[in-house]
Structure 1
Amino acid sequence: MVIGLLAVTAIPTVTGVSLGVVEQRKQNTRMEDEKRMAKFHIDVFCEGNSEKAMRLNRRRGVLRDNKVYIDHADPSLRKQTAHTAAAFYIGYPDDNQKRGDGLVSTISDNPPMLNWIYVDKNTMELKYGNRTQSIEHIVGHWDWTEDEAGVILDKKELWVAVEEEDDVWALYYDQNSDGLTGFVDPEKTVVEISICRNLIDKPEGGNNSDQNQT
């Protein structure tokens, strides 16, 4: 009888602990979702010593004509008008292929509009578009490096910049790590780069990739 009584009196305690664990998990999930949905600029870093590499270093991802280009962080220095990408991670609503998080960016401020950033599977260019335009291509899983600063796709950092015209650079994904052989004209300049998250609204006391920035 004593054992039975102890078991009964323990039930509220066990239930309370279980509910507390569930609630904590929900809170952790919400916090993680909020962190992954924090908007950031896509900043370029290039360690090369060539003139072109130094030009690219600290430039920024911009959107125009359905492609992701690399241009000056200061819009007044750009030769062509473009929208500065303000990106964040969110689950991609795919066709049950479980491709994980996609990368979304604003494409205009007025009116406010969002599109998916994706890799064109036929050209390896980074482009942006709606679900219909993106779903047949490489849409995820997008993530960050261990320090949460670098942007990665399918657990890899395989980013390159391609000079399509004189000092007009586009962002590509070098999926085969071969300098985009078979995808771009071999006469074009291809430069290895890293792309990083420069948080737009930075947490107090936090440090991010913006330590190098504008």
Structure 2
Amino acid sequence: MVFGIVTLAATVPLLATSTIQLQNAANDTKEGNGQASINASKTNKCHVIVLPSSRMSSDIKNAVKDRRLILKDGVVKLSQQNEENPPHHKVTAYFLPFPNKEYDGLVSTIDDMNMLNWIYVDADTYRVTYGTRAEAEKGHLTGPMGLTLMADGNSKITMDGWDGYMAVEDENGEWSLYFDKDSNGLSDKIDESHTKRVAQVELQREMLE
């Protein structure tokens, strides 16, 4: 069963911990720490823009740019290029402490009723997916999720301290998001016979008012 804001509000110790962390970040911000300012915005909702890594060829960059993350068929995928209103729900994410863990996880609304799921990495395939807490806790990778300040002043979403995300295009032309946990280009994790292109990407937050 998916969960909503009311359910999350009942987890008082978790939210209290998060509040303390955010208060500490706010205090650091007064000292001029730009990264602390980014951390203080963790509970603000955002869409997610996919940026091709500078290491990619121009062809790959052109293929991946101008896309946002969407939720489709239980996994996190990339929208079509320049698609402002995709037919599938756009990732609308923010950070929350993951239950019984000492780190933040990432949640997203999954519908217009603002029901929430956790975003996590499948431990077997390394594909980024979404589901309930019960599903996420079945040995999958739920964090630590974090933020890094970019050179242009925006922020990008990291996992386990780095942005090892990859977009993989299947034979139908759809791009899915993966996390290169072993830093080996997803060796043995993707089926090359059904894969057209692979791109290293970064995930930039697009803040919502």
**Category of TM-score, reference length = shorter chain:** 0.7 to 0.9
Instruction: Please give the alpha-carbon distance, in whole angstroms, between the structure 1 residues aligned to 2:73 and 2:21.
Output: 40
SS of alignment partner, residue 78 of structure 2 = strand
TM-score (norm 1): 0.72
> RMSD across aligned C-alpha pairs, in angstroms?
2.3
- Contact 2:155 2:205 survives alignment (8 Å): yes
Counterpart residue number, 1:74: 83
SS of alignment partner, residue 35 of structure 1 = coil
Shift of 1:91: 0.3
Shift of 1:27: 8.1
Structure 2 unpaired stretches of 5+:
1-19, 27-36
Runs (4 or more) in structure 1 with deviation over 2 Å come to: 25-34, 47-53, 72-76
After TM superposition, the structure 1 stretch with the greater mean CA deviation from structure 2, 29-38 or 84-93, is 29-38
1:61 aligns with 2:64: no
- Contact 2:22 2:40 survives alignment (8 Å): no
Q: Which among 121, 124, 142 is matched to residue 122 of structure 1?
A: 124
Instruction: Please give the alpha-carbon distance, in whole angstroms, between the structure 2 residues aligned to 1:177 and 1:34.
Output: 29
Instruction: Please give the alpha-carbon distance, in whole angstroms, between the structure 2 residues aligned to 1:122 and 1:42.
Output: 24
Counterpart residue number, 1:8: none
Instruction: Please give the alpha-carbon distance, in whole angstroms, between the structure 2 residues aligned to 1:183 and 1:157.
Output: 18
Structure of higher CA gyration radius: 1
Counterpart residue number, 1:43: 49
Shift of 1:30: 8.5
Q: 1:199 to 1:182 in 2, by over 3 A?
A: same
Deviations 1:125-176 (A, max 9, x none): 0000010000121001100113461110010110000012332000000011
Counterpart residue number, 2:95: 89
Give the number of the structure with larger relative contact order, counting CA–CA contacts within 8 Å between residues 6 or more apart.
Answer: 2
Counterpart residue number, 1:212: none
**What code does the residue aligned with 2:126 have?**
M
Instruction: Please give the alpha-carbon distance, in whole angstroms, between the structure 1 residues aligned to 2:42 and 2:108.
Output: 13
Q: 1:183 to 1:38 in 2, by over 3 A?
A: same
Counterpart residue number, 2:142: 139
Counterpart residue number, 1:113: 115
Q: Which among 8, 23, 29 is matched to residue 28 of structure 1?
A: 23
Instruction: Please give the alpha-carbon distance, in whole angstroms, between the structure 1 residues aligned to 2:144 and 2:156.
Output: 14
After TM superposition, the structure 1 stretch with the greater mean CA deviation from structure 2, 49-58 or 29-38, is 29-38
TM-score (norm 2): 0.74
Shift of 1:52: 3.8
SS of alignment partner, residue 177 of structure 1 = coil
Counterpart residue number, 2:205: 197
Instruction: Please give the alpha-carbon distance, in whole angstroms, between the structure 1 residues aligned to 2:179 and 2:21.
Output: 35
- Matched residues, number: 170
Shift of 1:75: 4.7
- Identity fraction in percent: 29
Q: 1:40 to 1:122 in 2, by over 3 A?
A: same
SS of alignment partner, residue 63 of structure 2 = helix
**What code does the residue aligned with 2:116 have?**
L
Shift of 1:193: 0.9
Instruction: Please give the alpha-carbon distance, in whole angstroms, between the structure 1 residues aligned to 2:117 and 2:71.
Output: 10
